[in-house]
Structure 1
Amino acid sequence: MATTVLVHGAMHGGWAWSAVATRLRAEGHTVFTPTLTGQGDRRGSLTPEVGVGTHVTDLTELLWFEDLRDIVLVLHSYAGVLAGPVVEACADRIRSVVFAGAFVVHPGQSLADVEPPAVAERYRETAQQHGDGWRLPATSAFLAQWAVTDPALQAFVGPRLTDFPLKSVTDAVVFDPASLAAVPRIYIEHTAPPLPSLEHSRTTAVADGATLRTLATGHDMMLADPDGTAALLSELLAVTPPTGRG
């Protein structure tokens, strides 16, 4: 059995992984589903100062206080940006990293740098016009962007989305790329439908040596298809895969 930390993406919270966590725990795995500062049930802690560094600290503190070791770190969407700094700080605790439909950045890049330019500019304009200049308001437009089309899922997810700090979009990450390269990495590409904004990240991850897996579901894979997501993660938790495409 393995220990895994499931990290949500922008505007979500630990709640988003609940169904997958239940399935993995039933198989005997130890599962943590932290909520990042300012998100989900921690939305009251959202301030203009919350950024990538804040969220890196959220995870490194969790790993230290719980004394977690030999973990599989699963990062969804925005959380992929946190991979390098977290692995660098906690290399002795991490067995492998799974980018679950996640954004992938190199040192010196921000989330805005790896999003399509038009998307990044829209985020900046939205924050300026509707988010007091520092936050992205959570609206139903994001459900459409992430292809959350099932009415029941829309009704569940929509009210739980939380505003997201623009600083987490624009903060550049700083880390030694060798630390991340030394850890086995898997990239899960969702294909039904794909998210065009992730094409650059998928290509980057594979070029950097990550193993590519696919899942026939939409961007919010853990919500749209908890069975399929849990099954794939359970398979990945069973072994430490080699780097390279497969």
Structure 2
Amino acid sequence: MATVVLVHGAMHGGWAWSPVARLLRRRGHEVYTPTLTGQGERRAELTPSVGVSTHVDDLTELLWFEDLHDVVLVLHSYAGVIAGPVVEACADRIRSVVFAGAFYVRPGQRLLDVEPPAVAARYTALARAEGDGWRLPATTAFLSQWAITDPVLQTFVGPRLTDFPYKAQTDAVDFDPAPLTSIPRTYVEHTEPPLASLAVSRDAALADGAAHVTLATGHDMMLAAPEATAELLDSLA
């Protein structure tokens, strides 16, 4: 059995992983579902200063305070960008990394650098026009972008989405890539439907040596297909 840390993406919280966490615990795994600063139930902590380094600290502090070792670190969507600095800081605690439909950056890149230019421009305009210049407002329009089409799931997820710090999209992610590339990595590509914004990240992760698996579901795999997601993560753990 493994120690698994499931990290959510933008506008979500630890709540998004709850169905998968329950299934993995039934299989005997020790599972943690942290919520990043300013997201989910920590939305009151969102300020203009929250960025990539804040979220890196969230995870490194969790690993230290809980004294976790031999961790399978599962990163969804935005959370993929913090893989490098987290592994660099906690190399002795992390066994492997799973990029679950995640963005992937190399040293010096920003999240917006690996988004399609049109998407990056849209997010920038949205933050400036409706987010006071420092946050990306959460709207139900993101549900269709992430292929959340089930009405029941839409009703559950929509109200729980939280504004996302624009700084986390524009911070350059600086780290030594060696610790990350020295451990097993797997990129999980969701295929029904795929998300075009992830193509650059997928290709870069595979070029840097990550294994490649696919999952026949949409972007919010942990909510749309929790059983299939848990089964895949169990096999990887």
What residue number does 1:148 align with? Answer: 148
**Dislocated runs of 4+, deviation >2 Å:** none
Deviation at 1:51, TM superposition (A): 0.2
What residue number does 2:7 align with? Answer: 7
Alignment of structure 1 residues 1-246 onto 2, 5 Å: 1-237=1-237
In 2, Cα distance between equivalents of 1:119 and 1:60: 30
Deviation at 1:119, TM superposition (A): 0.4
In 2, Cα distance between equivalents of 1:20 and 1:119: 29
In 2, Cα distance between equivalents of 1:2 and 1:144: 34
TM-score by length of 2: 1.00
In 2, Cα distance between equivalents of 1:156 and 1:180: 35
Aligned residues: 237
**What does the per-residue CA deviation read over 1:175-210, in whole Å, with 9 as the maximum and x for residues that have no partner?**
001111111100000000000000001101110000
TM-score by length of 1: 0.96
Aligned partner of 1:119: which letter?
Answer: V
Instruction: Give the RMSD, CA atoms, in angstroms.
Output: 0.4
| Structure 2 unaligned residues grouped into runs of 5+ | none
**What does the per-residue CA deviation read over 1:57-100, in whole Å, with 9 as the maximum and x for residues that have no partner?**
00000000000000000000000000000000000000000000
**What does the per-residue CA deviation read over 1:204-223, in whole Å, with 9 as the maximum and x for residues that have no partner?**
11100000000000000000
| Structure 1 unaligned residues grouped into runs of 5+ | 238-246
Aligned partner of 2:89: which letter?
Answer: A
Deviation at 1:43, TM superposition (A): 0.2
In 2, Cα distance between equivalents of 1:30 and 1:110: 32
Aligned partner of 1:201: which letter?
Answer: S
Aligned partner of 1:150: which letter?
Answer: D
Q: Percent identity?
A: 75
